[in-house]
Amino acid sequence: MAVIPGDGVGPEVVSASLPVLRAAAARAGARLDPVEFDWGGERYLRTGRAMPADGAEILRGFPAVLFGAVGRPDVPDHELVWGLIIGVRQALDLAVNVRPVQSWAGVRTVLREPDGVDLVIVRENTEGEYVGVGGRAHAATAHELGIEVAVHSRTAILRAARYAFDLARSRRGRVSLVTKSNALRHGYTLWDAVVAEVAAAYPDVECEQVLVDAMAVRLVQQPRDLDVLLCSNLFGDILSDLAAVLAGGMGMAPSANLLPDGDAPALFEPVHGSAPDIAGRGVANPVACMLSGAMLLDHVGLPVAGRIVRDAVATALRDPARHTPDLGGSATTKELAAEILAVVESST
């Protein structure tokens, strides 16, 4: 697999995660051979590019990529975010973003009774409000305009929807489609129609349509009932940060970017960014990165290893003395990672 630690807390959480992933793979009788790339902000300052021009092609040689985070205060965000992670997602056409959210015993959250949340947000990853179509006009007049055109294609909706229904089949069999077709009458009515067609091909999967505002309420009030949420790019972006809080925050939120049925490598990354406010202090929570690694292990055909990582995380987190500051504890990145590694190594 390819590994891009990146910037800020990226290298801290990646270096804490790799021994755990390696040990879990070994327990499952497999060997991981990570190949590291120094892509990111420092490389940008040195060479003017966050990654080589053929970076995406280099990654094609690997079955999967583990990515830390990119971004640093002294480089404009778009140079690094577009020059690296969004560039890679687009070049590899990683059309679907997958973000599991679950409760962890021992981890306190905003919920009164946190136990029992177990849902996955499947987010269309390439279009919607994020296509960059539009413009600014009548600058510095009283009629100044900013126009943002949302684009939704049948192809992209189908890719995300089929992935969501397949996933629901392997889980509790429920898809909640999140749109806003009562007010946005073109793009989101296409979502409703295309997803209804897909739903007809999955009679064993229950499908409901929920408006995004109602879903925001449900995520807070009754998240336990939710299984797979199928979302557009914008709604998935917003709801997955909300949902991450139900698991304990950004330090607990893993993700995958993938092209279902395609031949591109999938890219796994913690949802959080480079966290410049805590970078270098050794206190970042490594769990989001480790759980991303567990998804990677599942993806490369080592689900037993993925399960070992998740079980070890669950075991370690039951003890609040192991929690990093974002979870209300005082453990360091290395202390929590060492505990998780010890649990993996003692697992049978």
The set of catalytic residues is 130, 180, 213, 237, 241
Total of residues contacting Mg ion (CB under 5 A): 1
Instruction: Please state the length of the chain.
Output: 348
Q: By C-beta, is 20 or 289 nearer to Mg ion?
A: 289
Residue where the block lists tokens 């299984």: 227
- Verify binding: residue 13, ligand ATP, rule CB under 6 A: yes
Q: How far is the CB of 247 from ligand ATP (least distance, A)?
A: 13
Handedness of CA 280, 285, 286, 292 (dihedral sign): negative
Among 284, 308, 312, 340, binds ligand ATP (CB under 6 A): 284
Among 248, 273, 306, 329, binds ligand ATP (CB under 6 A): 273
In whole angstroms, what is the distance from residue 150 CA to residue 147 CA? 10
Residue where the block lists tokens 């995380």: 313
Binding residues for ligand ATP restricted to 119-138, rule: CB under 6 A = none
Binding residues for ligand ATP restricted to 287-306, rule: CB under 6 A = 288
Q: Are 59 and 92 in contact (CB under 8 A)?
A: yes
279 is in the binding site of which of Mg ion, ligand ATP, none (Cβ under 5 to 8 A by kind)? none
Total of residues contacting ligand ATP (CB under 6 A): 17
- Verify binding: residue 11, ligand ATP, rule CB under 6 A: no
Two tokens at 210? 């929920």
Among 6, 41, 71, 254, binds ligand ATP (CB under 6 A): 71
Rg of the chain's alpha carbons, rounded to an integer? 20
305 is in the binding site of which of ligand ATP, Mg ion, none (Cβ under 5 to 8 A by kind)? none
Alpha helices in the chain (DSSP H): 10-27, 41-47, 55-59, 77-80, 87-91, 154-169, 187-200, 212-221, 233-247, 287-299, 303-317, 333-346
Among 176, 274, 292, 315, binds ligand ATP (CB under 6 A): 274
How far from 178 is each of 2, 70, 205, 326, CA to CA, in Å? 33, 29, 16, 30
Which residues does residue 297 pair with via DSSP β-bridges, in sequence order? none
- Verify binding: residue 331, ligand ATP, rule CB under 6 A: no
How far from 278 is each of 138, 282, 289, 319, 331, CA to CA, in Å? 41, 8, 16, 23, 14
285 is in the binding site of which of ligand ATP, Mg ion, none (Cβ under 5 to 8 A by kind)? ligand ATP
Among 3, 207, 278, 308, binds ligand ATP (CB under 6 A): 278
Q: By C-beta, is 234 or 304 nearer to ligand ATP?
A: 234
- Verify binding: residue 69, ligand ATP, rule CB under 6 A: yes
Among 41, 128, 248, 273, binds Mg ion (CB under 5 A): 273
Binding residues for ligand ATP restricted to 242-261, rule: CB under 6 A = 250-251
- Verify binding: residue 251, Mg ion, rule CB under 5 A: no
Q: How far is the CB of 213 from Mg ion (least distance, A)?
A: 23
Give the list of residues 6+ apart from residue 301 with CB closer than 8 angstroms, or none: none
Q: By C-beta, is 194 or 336 nearer to ligand ATP?
A: 336
Residue where the block lists tokens 């229904």: 165
User: Using H for helix, E for strand and C for coil, what is the string for 199-240?
Assistant: HHCCCCCEEEEEEHHHHHHHHHHCHHHCCEEEECHHHHHHHH
Q: Are 31 and 25 in contact (CB under 8 A)?
A: yes
- Verify binding: residue 326, ligand ATP, rule CB under 6 A: yes
251 is in the binding site of which of Mg ion, ligand ATP, none (Cβ under 5 to 8 A by kind)? ligand ATP
Among 272, 299, 322, 323, binds ligand ATP (CB under 6 A): 272
Residue where the block lists tokens 């080592």: 302
- Verify binding: residue 10, Mg ion, rule CB under 5 A: no
Q: By C-beta, is 273 or 329 nearer to Mg ion?
A: 273
Q: Are 215 and 188 in contact (CB under 8 A)?
A: no
Where do contacts with ligand ATP occur on this chain (CB under 6 A)? Answer: 9, 13, 69, 71, 77, 250-251, 272-275, 277-278, 284-285, 288, 326
Which residues bind to Mg ion, rule: CB under 5 A?
Answer: 273
